[in-house]
């Protein structure tokens, strides 16, 4: 405003000066001619600056701002400041939009924006993965037509509630593996709807595993408890029961009690192995040779001379680990072979070392039997908790169904793995593979930790 007032004052002073000088030199006619000339010059200057402004506005460059006279210089400078301000706002908006896109692509949920006609206006990469869509091809496509699921189409077209959600199972990118999604629909604005997809496959599988685990534990405990409770009721109701039969009942109850005790011990062991996150501070050198010899000796006692044993154990093989957990792994592999190999069968135990790199070795503890073998379809499930190829036979032999799960977790916490090979009618081979440690000069098998 001050600049505008100064410009008006300058125009007024100029007019007064021109009028006075014209009157003094030529009278009224001279005043009219002078004013016409002045107006013409003002109009030329106006058009000259206006053309410069139009040309600059067509291609505004902040470095090439036009220069003007008087009020025009103020106009040009004001427009330049506004242009700079718009450029800064545009840059900020660009940065904000870029950050929003990065956030939208980073979040684990899928996000879609649908128009009132059900067409996709925008979607992030995770939504495309969840719903098997293409971020470029399916833009502006009708979501209900792209996903031919009756429940999903009904869910999209519901108008009763502003907020709704549904749980659906999709094929994971044509792999045949199920993907369970929780899909949420909520208003975005008056012209659009927001769809959010959450992959809850892992949570659903975990819930199913927990449910199955509780059901299996309940089932495993129900049988011995039923047997013990039944015998106790019989002994209570029949106090005159012969001593021989009474002793038989007590032995059976003791056997079922031992089954429950073994089951609970295995459950506690498995729970401990699954909950351990860092065992590095508790690791120490363990001599696998001495450990294998101990397990073989106990397996022979368990066998009670019903089987033949062939043992080939290399000397001075050490690993860095927890002895009790490694004992659990080795004993479960060998004791299973004793339980499931028919009498007069042969059980072979080997322990050896092999090179896997110029400066790395691995130790292998292998148990082979001449049992009935395991069909190929069962092998991937053998390390699952309570999985049994022959449930009745497993219980009869005293197994809990947790031995191989314990072995798998115990080896995994040591950076090892369990390998299983089996042929029906030819027996099975279970191999525990562990990274081997270098033997220090002052360490020998007599130093095995207790």
Domains of the chain with bracketed CATH: 2-102 (no CATH), 109-199 (3.30.450.20), 208-274 (1.10.287.130), 280-447 (3.30.565.10)
Query: What per-residue confidence (pLDDT) applies to 105?
Result: 78
For the segment 367-390, the average pLDDT, to the nearest whole number, is: 84
**pLDDT surpasses 60 at 443:** no
- Residue 4 has a pLDDT of 61
| Spatial CA neighbour of 279 closest among 409, 387, 175, 431 | 409
Q: What is the pLDDT of residue 174?
A: 61
Is 296 within 8 Å of 349 (Cβ atoms)?
A: yes
Q: Please, what is the average pLDDT of the chain?
A: 81
**How many other CB atoms sit within 10 Å of the CB of residue 413?**
20
pLDDT at 273 over 90: no
Segment 332-367, tens digit of pLDDT? 999 989 988 999 999 999 999 988 877 888 999 999
What's residue 450's pLDDT? 35
What's the N-to-C CA distance of the chain in angstroms? 94
Compute the average pLDDT of residues 29-54: 79
- This prediction's pTM: 0.56
What is d(CA 106, CA 103) in angstroms, rounded to the nearest whole number? 5
Q: What is the pLDDT of residues 169-178, one digit of tens each?
A: 887 666 667 8
Other CB atoms within 10 A of residue 381 CB: 11
């Amino acid at each position: 405003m001050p600049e505008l007032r100064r410009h008006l004052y300058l125009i007024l002073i100029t007019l007064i000066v021109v009028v006075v000088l014209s009157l003094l030199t030529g009278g009224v006619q001279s005043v009219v001619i002078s004013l016409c000339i002045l107006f013409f010059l003002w109009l030329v200057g106006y058009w000259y600056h206006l053309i410069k402004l139009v040309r600059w506005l067509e291609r505004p460059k902040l470095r090439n701002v036009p220069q003007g006279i008087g009020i025009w210089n103020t106009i040009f400078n004001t427009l330049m400041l506004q242009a700079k301000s718009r450029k800064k706002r545009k840059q900020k908006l660009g940065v904000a939009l870029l950050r929003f896109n990065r956030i939208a692509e980073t979040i684990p949920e899928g996000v879609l924006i649908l128009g009132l006609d059900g067409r996709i206006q925008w979607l992030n990469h995770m939504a495309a993965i969840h719903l098997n869509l293409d971020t470029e091809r399916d833009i502006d496509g009708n979501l209900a037509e792209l996903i031919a699921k009756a429940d999903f189409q009904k869910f999209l077209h519901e108008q009763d509630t502003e907020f709704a959600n549904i749980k659906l199972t999709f094929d994971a990118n044509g792999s045949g593996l199920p993907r369970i999604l929780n899909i949420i629909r909520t208003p975005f604005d008056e012209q659009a709807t927001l769809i959010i997809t959450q992959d809850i496959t892992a949570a659903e599988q975990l819930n199913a595993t927990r449910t199955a685990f509780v059901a299996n534990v309940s089932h495993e405990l129900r049988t011995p408890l039923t047997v013990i409770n039944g015998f106790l009721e019989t002994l209570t109701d029949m106090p005159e029961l012969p001593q021989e039969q009474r002793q038989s009942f007590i032995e059976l109850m003791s056997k079922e009690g031992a089954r429950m005790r073994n089951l609970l011990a295995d459950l506690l062991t498995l729970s401990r192995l699954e909950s351990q996150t860092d065992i590095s501070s508790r690791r120490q050198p363990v001599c696998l040779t001495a450990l294998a010899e101990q397990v073989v000796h106990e397996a022979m006692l368990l066998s009670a001379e019903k089987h033949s044993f062939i043992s080939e154990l290399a000397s001075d093989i050490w690993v860095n680990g927890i002895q009790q957990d490694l004992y659990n792994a080795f004993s479960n592999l060998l004791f299973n072979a004793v339980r499931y190999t028919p009498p007069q069968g042969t059980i072979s135990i080997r322990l050896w070392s092999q090179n896997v790199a110029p400066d790395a070795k691995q130790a292998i503890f292998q148990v082979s039997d001449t049992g009935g073998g395991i069909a190929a379809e069962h092998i991937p499930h053998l390390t699952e908790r309570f999985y049994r190829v022959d449930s009745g036979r497993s219980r009869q032999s005293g197994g809990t169904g947790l031995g191989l799960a314990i072995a798998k977790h115990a080896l995994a916490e040591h950076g090892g793995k369990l390998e299983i090979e089996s042929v029906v009618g030819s027996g099975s081979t279970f191999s525990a593979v562990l990274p081997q440690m270098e033997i220090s000069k002052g360490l020998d098998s007599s130093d095995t930790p207790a």
